[in-house]
Amino acid sequence: MTKVTAQLSVSLDGFYAGPRHDGAGDWLASVEAAAFFRVTRWAISAMSWRERQGFAGGERDLNSDVIQENFDAAGAYVMGRRMADGGEVPWGEEPPFRAPVFVVTHRPRQKLERKGGTSFTYVTDGVASAVEQAKAVAGGKDVAVAGGGSLVRQVLAAGLLEELELHIVPVVLGTGLRLLDADLGLGHKEGIELTPIRVLHAPDVTHVRYAVQGRAPLVLDDRGRGDGQ
């Protein structure tokens, strides 16, 4: 049964990257990148991540297993335009996805076929359409929202996300791009409720997987009343 999932590495204060790079100068030297590489450091060390990128070495550990499991679960991906553009050259002829990727964009573009099972289809009619197209080809596996963070947030805000795994990295960054920010458009005394369904912890990261229950009112809870009501 296909689920719509997402996973993202975030700092303890909820940032997946530093403040957005303004485009001048080298992205790798930016504050955005410094924070991004700090919160993804655990993954870059993992053997399963390195193998998908064609790199040697890495640790065969819990973190590597978590990444491998997420790769294995995905039958198709949905991706933001900025991430897709940024990855196009570094990922090369054989990108790490090995599955169809649906890129949400405003600019029509011909489908891009890559080696190893990866393709990029450019979807111009919105996030929900991209998710539907990905579901149709996922072969019963999951549709993984690959990122970036703003696309994950859009899918969550639209009520389309079923599972969210956060890789919570023990660093406080103070500023940057947040996964869960005010753009979620929650109403007065309204929250999005989730249920933790798996917690795994390594020394450098805590992996918490949530099932998304959806929007719900924040009901004043009076169990703290002294009369036991």
Minimum separation from the CB atom of position 76 to a second copy (A): 25
Residue 7 neighbours by CB under 8 Å, 6+ apart: 70, 144, 164, 165, 166, 167
- The H or E element that residue 81 is part of is helix 81-91
| Residues numbered 162-201 forming contacts with a second copy, rule: CB under 8 A | 166, 168, 170-175, 178, 180-182, 184-186, 188-196, 199, 201
The smaller minimum CB distance to a second copy, of residues 128 and 208, is found at 208
The smaller minimum CB distance to a second copy, of residues 108 and 224, is found at 224
The smaller minimum CB distance to a second copy, of residues 76 and 192, is found at 192
Tell me if 80 sits within 8 A of 17, measured CB to CB. Answer: no
Distances (CA, A) of 188 to 100, 171, 185, 197, 213: 39, 31, 10, 27, 18
Question: Encoding tokens for residue 201?
Answer: 């912890």
Helix (H, G, I), strand (E, B) or coil at 85: helix
Minimum separation from the CB atom of position 198 to a second copy (A): 9
Q: Which amino acid is at 98?
A: R
| Max Cα-Cα span within the chain | 68
| Residues numbered 47-106 forming contacts with a second copy, rule: CB under 8 A | 53-57
* Contacts with a second copy, residue ranges (CB under 8 A): 11-14, 18, 28-29, 31, 33-35, 37-38, 41, 44-45, 53-57, 156, 166, 168, 170-175, 178, 180-182, 184-186, 188-196, 199, 201, 203, 206, 208, 210, 218-221, 223-226, 228
